[in-house]
Structure 1
């Protein structure tokens, strides 16, 4: 009890220090707990979104499962009956195996196909009748169809089966409802069937699992119980197929149950493989869900690597706060040691104190982690947020496990200064207090040089790997961002900061000696204080260096990744929307052989007649509401060229444009061309025969501006064009070779006037490019295209592709964690900065009191404090900017490896955004200004008499 009393009193005496330490612990817990929370939440959201895409792509419910099998047995024996019954029981267990609830289910059985004719049919009619169908059953037919005419069938005992049929089948058998029909099997078994109802699909009956009668319209549907007794158990004829269908509640699928789903999928396929007959399993969502098992592991590694710099910052903050607290209590610790207290007893007291703070942080931190996770989910870029639907976040055991581990590690970290302090006696403590400029541990051990050397070595390896990828033309699409890309800059920032801090005291001494005859008393005192107590400022300076450096790197890395991904999409599309429409033509329908390949018509005589196209009206696209500009863009990838000067010929891509419309519509990143794209368009507009050619074509054909080229394609005479300019890039054109690198010939391009190409060569289908007005959504355009009944054959929407890219869990993680890390680093830096300087000011109360007593004006006292901050904190910020720019220049280019080397167009570019620097400098400036005002206020409240009395005591 006495120990707890002492601990509580000690904490009360240092309440502001303890509060800072608790804040650091709480943020640490929140950050670590948000790691599994975010990983699970974002994967959960993207998992459901991708599973939902099945409905758009395959027009089936995302939770759809279909299992079917043929029945290979020629006769239904006991073995076959047992196998069917076991299969039924296995199917019923599937929802439980997958961990999901069945929203709808039905099973179907069918016999072999039989010849169907009227019971009153004559021999001639029987012979001429072509109608055929099977007898089927449906486990819940009344819930899936609508009775158009007649009624539902019932089980009869007179040997006649009542059935539902479709109107199409009833017409085929040429009989009315209520008329008896005969179904005759190949074995000449005859079954009497009476159609009593005409059915059709009821779209409102079962939204999850509709029964489409038009897909299986031939045959009779009899009551399920009757089918089981007559054909499954009775074995009256051969069975053809068995089918089971589920609609599972996919929205209940979680990342934690993915393993169950994937395992169940494997078990289903393994169970039905050849057990009864030839099986067919259709689970459309299976491939998407299975892919998330690997994606979760990669995202966890990615998140951990992204969090590494922030974790390092928090570790520094906790160590600094604990060290400052212990520094104030070293005298107390040394007194306790001199009076007989053991190191174990002292460490026990600090351990209990740490446990108290840790448990209280553990109680609050995970809830703050939920807030962090929601911030991550709302990120749309670096320091950019959107009103995206909130992540569904709930605390889990994994979050508490990670948080508890973080608390344990943090407690060990903050106990290190206490453990070191227990080794110090009163005498050695006084000696250490007088020698604040002695080398630190990391400088004595050369840790700064080691860290810089390791990071440079890793940088060398990454650069070598990137050169190999570019030289070989390998596609690195399969590579995710390497975790070391985020960890290496932190190592370099830490090592570089320590290395500069090794040199910085010598710079201060040089400044001191250079102007010691002219310095004002305040600046003179500051230079002496800093040069003699350099070790006192090491922690705060390193803390600020790390904050500023990692903040700049995070900003530049996030901007670079986002900009390059977005530019790649916009360049590939060429405009906001690019689409193609169906053109009427004179082409004959293709004839396909048994192999599925098209064959020649007219008895093998090839047709040389060119296909003639009728150009549809372009006016409807120009009149769409919300479209700012539209353009026709003709593309012919297999045009042929001949250079008049050199005679070189070959194949090239040919683009045809209207210069005015194209300039108003197309998207082009600045800096890709030697001159702005509008300058090239203006040049092109001066001559109807003018063309622009790619540099690759100019080099191969030895063509220069002013030369003539002849262009055509199959079945056309060549037309002359004049080269007016040479270009390296053009919207939607990829100038890079394919995956074979040097082995593949470079792409070539010719850009000319669409009107000239159509007049001199031919009119063929072109793309329609559209630029939307600001704030207009793509759905507005889609609705108008549908209302106008425009036949769209292909469409690419840059806006939707950008949204899909931004919703990628890996990109969300990068933007969210870097933004959150930057904000947390700035906040922690502010608290750490105030904590250090307030304690420093409190520790030098006597010094300031003596200076005031000696007559030093208060203005010079403030100047002394400001110059001390400028030469320590300000210098640290300056060094942080230097290191931040250095690691950005060294390490951000490595992110190019995460982009495909074969289609990264525009080329990878490092992005520095001025607003990021303004925000960083603004935050740091506010921190220094607020700190100076707070310290000045506290300095103004120092009472000289109390300070001198404190010195006497």
Structure 2
């Protein structure tokens, strides 16, 4: 290890990266789903008022159940429930058992003609640890005072409802017993010690008419004496879902499902309100795990390939020593054991450190907003899980095997066989003989053909990222990369022969060196470069397309950064200066003066307008009236959606205020032509005749594929045009949305004032929170508000999307690190092994400058051509597979239409990485060449 310490270090880096990458899957899945689950649980608690982690089992006793059976159930049910809860892989935050009798009557000595008030006497375990006594004291141990009176406590609400006071003694009788069975004394008033205590997850409403006594007393003397008849027992556990390991979620859901079936067999009611939510998360965990694994497949393959390559190079350098060991009596197993010990030490160190590296990588994933894009987001709260340790161990075992493969044949070589192997020329590698490159390409093509053969299948919406796209796109990249390596020597030979008379000495030496390297180290490096940057290009285009599509859908649907609507006042008595109509319009400048607002505009939207064409009328047309100039500068719209820039349509509205722009669906349905006059009516206004200025397919804030009268996607089967009968369709059918656009200034002049929406565009860098604060400070009566930025944050925080962005970026970075190391290994070994060659060339009269030029040309032929080819392969793969991601969306939801995006900024990032890699490599190689004693090499060459 000391003689080849740099190779061993490279092996260790590979081990560490591989195990670290594998450990990220359970760590990231746990952290990301945990964060999302907590947010959803908090939303559930706000909407339902119930603690999300409640696990409750309740038995309400029928009147026919004997006291003996009731006592037996009270004693046994808590233990039964505890056994089931202990089986769950979820920590318990709090627990209690509650028993009560709600058929008791308390005598207050006569109040408004009645002397008896129905009450509940309850007792619960752990009560004294979760309350504060605000007045009086806690009931005594055992609950029975020295005078035989039963001591109780109550909250303020119960005192009012029961009409009792602190310190009072009251006779209590049961519904079927004589009065005076027992006497209770109220010795204290209590309240929750902590308003957020999950011990009180059922809330205090159930104790609004209850007195609380000692649990042992209730289940003991009170029950034995027949003073109370327990009507109900509830065993409640508050599960601490925030500390749950998400890798155990599927197991937990399965166990709780079994409990939901088991407890009804005991005549008990089982309650867990969020079970269905947890079931969805269990499915989400499976999907996320699948995606993360699929995205890491190319990385794992490349890492295994890297470790194999480095191990092989390490063995190649030590083959002479291995042969010497063999000649001196060392056995193959001894040599194999020596290298196994070396790899085992590396694996052991890796096993200890890899989970911590995985933890760092997961935090790296949590701040990823796209491919090689990062935001100032709070990182996910990741922790090392048992799954991470297991996956690290699996990685160490797998990659240990990868490093040991080259050792097996080397350990069997004798010194004679070693000398013979040095002169043996490898004509064709195993993968070339088996045609792995053709098989991979064929697999990708077959998948693509089958997936796109049936148009209906290709249009089915899954809503999820299909992992198969990544698997077969990776197959295509590897296949094309291997095919390039297969044919490159032949192409190079053809170029060499064609331009043979033109080569300079350095060019001639470079091209002949590369041409003769069949099966050499160059192929490893070229495959690394081709696959790495091809994956980078495909990953960049995939992430950019999916992220942009999600962002475009939100921005198009909303129409602007902020869309809000105020509560409007009806004009029963018009304010001074206000328009006299059905409503009072407030000063609009208030919106333009809000914090962070760049522009604001009025937008009237009416989804029940009527358009009349001749004798035909279309009901439920979406009418939008806009202020042309302001709307153009405020609304968001993608420029490729219309034949010309959409501002041209806005200009038409401005130049012809009385005109109207209609949707393609409306024009086709009624055969409306440009220039035709149509009648428009909405609300209580009279019909307005307007000439058609233009026909458009899309408009900001209007989905042309959604029915205006329902606002939902239609999923009914369609009628056959030939038979007129209903036919089942695989494609989700949807209604078209007829819409019309008019000039707001014109419509407001010929119709009554109506409430309108306010569309706002924020300044660059402005936050919506500042806008909200300003709205609140100015007490503006906002009815509803839509914020595109908040929706984008929610989407970007989705575990699947964030995991995809982070995994693509992390995989590329890891492969890039391995590629740089492989790049340096190749060129360092290449130069060091050619010292004699350099000396001979110098002795023949070749200048030092020409030698450097030769190395430079080799760089171009090996690294430069590989990088150029990677962009070709990455582009081909993107063109084939990225459009398939449209299946994530329902056709009705693909508004704006799916667009394959390739951002110049993504390519610039890759160019920068390439320049840094090559620049760093050249710098190291330059320093290495300078260290070569060229005079000594020259002398060696002369000898």
TMscore range, shorter length: 0.7 to 0.9
Q: Using structure 2 for the length normalisation, give the TM-score.
A: 0.85
Matched, 1:417 2:409: no
CA distance in 2 between counterparts of 1:566 and 1:929 reads: 37
Q: Using structure 1 for the length normalisation, give the TM-score.
A: 0.84
Q: 1:584 deviation in Å?
A: 6.0
Structure 1 counterpart of 2:474, from 483, 486, 490: 490
- Against the structure 1 CA distance between its residues 163 and 680, is the aligned structure 2 distance closer, same or farther, given a 3 Å change threshold? farther
What SS class does the counterpart of residue 535 from structure 1 fall into?
coil
- Against the structure 1 CA distance between its residues 159 and 455, is the aligned structure 2 distance closer, same or farther, given a 3 Å change threshold? same
Structure 2 counterpart of 1:689, from 658, 667, 671: 658
The answer for unaligned runs of 5 or more in structure 2 is 573-580, 707-712, 717-730
Partner of 2:613: 643
CA distance in 1 between counterparts of 2:246 and 2:881 reads: 33
| Contact preservation (8 Å) 2:54, 2:201 | no
Matched, 1:656 2:625: yes
Partner of 1:506: 490
What SS class does the counterpart of residue 432 from structure 2 fall into?
helix
CA distance in 2 between counterparts of 1:941 and 1:145 reads: 79
Q: 1:811 deviation in Å?
A: 1.6
Alignment of 1:282-681 (within 5 A): 283-334=272-323, 343-421=332-410, 433=422, 436=425, 438-464=427-453, 467-469=455-457, 474-477=460-463, 480-536=464-520, 537-583=522-568, 621-644=591-614, 647=616, 649-681=618-650
Partner of 1:900: 890
| Contact preservation (8 Å) 1:548, 1:884 | yes
What SS class does the counterpart of residue 742 from structure 2 fall into?
strand
Alignment of 1:156-235 (within 5 A): 190=179, 207-208=197-198, 215=205, 219-221=209-211, 223=213, 232-235=223-226
- Against the structure 1 CA distance between its residues 436 and 928, is the aligned structure 2 distance closer, same or farther, given a 3 Å change threshold? farther
Partner of 2:852: 862
- Against the structure 1 CA distance between its residues 855 and 386, is the aligned structure 2 distance closer, same or farther, given a 3 Å change threshold? same
| Contact preservation (8 Å) 1:670, 1:676 | yes
- Against the structure 1 CA distance between its residues 441 and 262, is the aligned structure 2 distance closer, same or farther, given a 3 Å change threshold? closer
Identify the range of structure 1 (812-821 vs 199-208) with the bigger mean alpha-carbon deviation: 199-208
Partner of 2:48: 58
Partner of 2:903: 913
CA distance in 1 between counterparts of 2:613 and 2:407 reads: 82
| Contact preservation (8 Å) 2:101, 2:229 | no
- Against the structure 1 CA distance between its residues 365 and 74, is the aligned structure 2 distance closer, same or farther, given a 3 Å change threshold? closer
Q: 1:632 deviation in Å?
A: 3.8
Matched, 1:102 2:102: no
| Contact preservation (8 Å) 2:705, 2:734 | no
- Against the structure 1 CA distance between its residues 232 and 475, is the aligned structure 2 distance closer, same or farther, given a 3 Å change threshold? farther
Matched, 1:725 2:714: no
| Contact preservation (8 Å) 2:253, 2:282 | no
Q: 1:651 deviation in Å?
A: 3.4
CA distance in 2 between counterparts of 1:173 and 1:826 reads: 74
Deviation string for 1:23-67 (max 9, x for gaps)?
A: 222322222233333233333333333333333333444444555
Identify the range of structure 1 (416-425 vs 850-859) with the bigger mean alpha-carbon deviation: 416-425
Q: 1:571 deviation in Å?
A: 2.0
Q: 1:305 deviation in Å?
A: 0.8
- Against the structure 1 CA distance between its residues 882 and 120, is the aligned structure 2 distance closer, same or farther, given a 3 Å change threshold? closer
Q: 1:952 deviation in Å?
A: 9.3
- Against the structure 1 CA distance between its residues 259 and 529, is the aligned structure 2 distance closer, same or farther, given a 3 Å change threshold? closer
| Contact preservation (8 Å) 1:151, 1:196 | no
Q: 1:325 deviation in Å?
A: 2.7
Deviation string for 1:311-369 (max 9, x for gaps)?
A: 12222222222232333344454565566655444434433333344334444434333
Deviation string for 1:876-913 (max 9, x for gaps)?
A: 11111111111111112222223333312222111212
Deviation string for 1:901-939 (max 9, x for gaps)?
A: 331222211121222222222222332333334334433
Q: 1:307 deviation in Å?
A: 0.7
- Against the structure 1 CA distance between its residues 570 and 229, is the aligned structure 2 distance closer, same or farther, given a 3 Å change threshold? same
CA distance in 2 between counterparts of 1:171 and 1:359 reads: 69
What SS class does the counterpart of residue 13 from structure 1 fall into?
coil
| Contact preservation (8 Å) 2:732, 2:890 | no
Identify the range of structure 1 (575-584 vs 178-187) with the bigger mean alpha-carbon deviation: 178-187
What SS class does the counterpart of residue 406 from structure 2 fall into?
helix
- Against the structure 1 CA distance between its residues 178 and 47, is the aligned structure 2 distance closer, same or farther, given a 3 Å change threshold? closer
Partner of 2:249: 258
CA distance in 1 between counterparts of 2:267 and 2:397 reads: 58
What SS class does the counterpart of residue 908 from structure 1 fall into?
coil
Partner of 1:3: none
Partner of 1:734: 703
- Against the structure 1 CA distance between its residues 813 and 231, is the aligned structure 2 distance closer, same or farther, given a 3 Å change threshold? same
| Contact preservation (8 Å) 1:95, 1:248 | no
| Contact preservation (8 Å) 2:98, 2:235 | yes
Q: 1:850 deviation in Å?
A: 0.9
Partner of 2:32: 42
Q: 1:455 deviation in Å?
A: 1.6
CA distance in 1 between counterparts of 2:613 and 2:188 reads: 71
Q: 1:117 deviation in Å?
A: 8.1
Identify the range of structure 1 (572-581 vs 264-273) with the bigger mean alpha-carbon deviation: 264-273
| Contact preservation (8 Å) 1:575, 1:770 | yes
CA distance in 2 between counterparts of 1:120 and 1:159 reads: 24
CA distance in 2 between counterparts of 1:429 and 1:952 reads: 28
Identify the range of structure 1 (916-925 vs 838-847) with the bigger mean alpha-carbon deviation: 916-925
- Against the structure 1 CA distance between its residues 949 and 265, is the aligned structure 2 distance closer, same or farther, given a 3 Å change threshold? same
Q: 1:619 deviation in Å?
A: 6.0
CA distance in 2 between counterparts of 1:245 and 1:756 reads: 65
| Contact preservation (8 Å) 2:153, 2:187 | yes
CA distance in 2 between counterparts of 1:164 and 1:619 reads: 59
Partner of 1:27: 17
What SS class does the counterpart of residue 902 from structure 1 fall into?
helix
Deviation string for 1:493-534 (max 9, x for gaps)?
A: 221122122222222222222222222111122222222334
Identify the range of structure 1 (882-891 vs 19-28) with the bigger mean alpha-carbon deviation: 19-28
Alignment of 1:688-707 (within 5 A): 688-707=657-676
Q: 1:177 deviation in Å?
A: 8.1
Matched, 1:843 2:833: yes
The answer for unaligned runs of 5 or more in structure 1 is 1-10, 588-610
CA distance in 2 between counterparts of 1:432 and 1:665 reads: 73
- Against the structure 1 CA distance between its residues 419 and 254, is the aligned structure 2 distance closer, same or farther, given a 3 Å change threshold? closer
| Contact preservation (8 Å) 1:705, 1:723 | yes
Identify the range of structure 1 (82-91 vs 695-704) with the bigger mean alpha-carbon deviation: 82-91
Alignment of 1:705-854 (within 5 A): 705-713=674-682, 717-736=686-705, 738=713, 739-740=715-716, 743-754=733-744, 756-757=746-747, 760=750, 764-786=754-776, 792-854=782-844
CA distance in 1 between counterparts of 2:402 and 2:161 reads: 84
- Against the structure 1 CA distance between its residues 755 and 408, is the aligned structure 2 distance closer, same or farther, given a 3 Å change threshold? same
